Amino acid sequence: MQLTRHTDYALRLLIYLAGIGDQRAQIAAVAEAQAISRTHLMKIANELARAGFIDATRGRGGGIRLARPPGEINLGAVIRAMEPPCPMVDCTSCRLVRRCSLPGVLDQASSAFRAVLERYSLADIVRERGTLLAA
C-alpha cells in the first residue's frame, strides 16, 4: 500500500496545523517549512477546506487552520477524501482471471489498511505542541 504524494502532503499540512493550535498559517510559510510547491499546497488546502478539515480565510489576517479539533479529524476520512479510488490490480486483460483470486485478497488487504486508519485521529499522530515545528 502506498499513498499518493498528494495525500502525503495533505497529512503533512494537517499535522502542521495541529501543531500550531488555533493560529492561522499562511500557505507560503507552510510550503517553505515543508519544502512543498506553494501552488500544489494551495490545491491541497482547497480540497481539505471543501472536505471540511480546514478553515480557509482570504485577505488580510486570513490563512488556514483546522476546522475542528485534531481529535475529531479521522485519518481514514482524510485518506478517503484525498486518495483517488483505484483498484490494486487491473484484471481486464488477464487470461488467468477465471482461476485467480488475487483481486479478492488484495481487496481484503486494502480494507484492513483502511480499517486501521479509521481507528486513529489527527490527535493520535501529532506530537506535543511546540515539538512538532522544531522537528
Q: Report pLDDT for 62.
A: 86
pTM for the complete prediction? 0.84
Q: In DSSP terms, which residues pair with 65 in a beta bridge?
A: 55
Q: How many Cα atoms occupy the beta-carbon half-sphere of 77 within 13 Å?
A: 13
> Integer distance in angstroms from the first to the last C-alpha of the chain?
26
pLDDT along the chain (135 residues), means of 10: 90 95 93 94 96 92 93 96 83 84 88 93 78 43
Structural contact between residues 13 and 48, judged by C-beta atoms closer than 8 angstroms: yes
Q: Report pLDDT for 9.
A: 96
Q: How many Cα atoms occupy the beta-carbon half-sphere of 124 within 13 Å?
A: 11
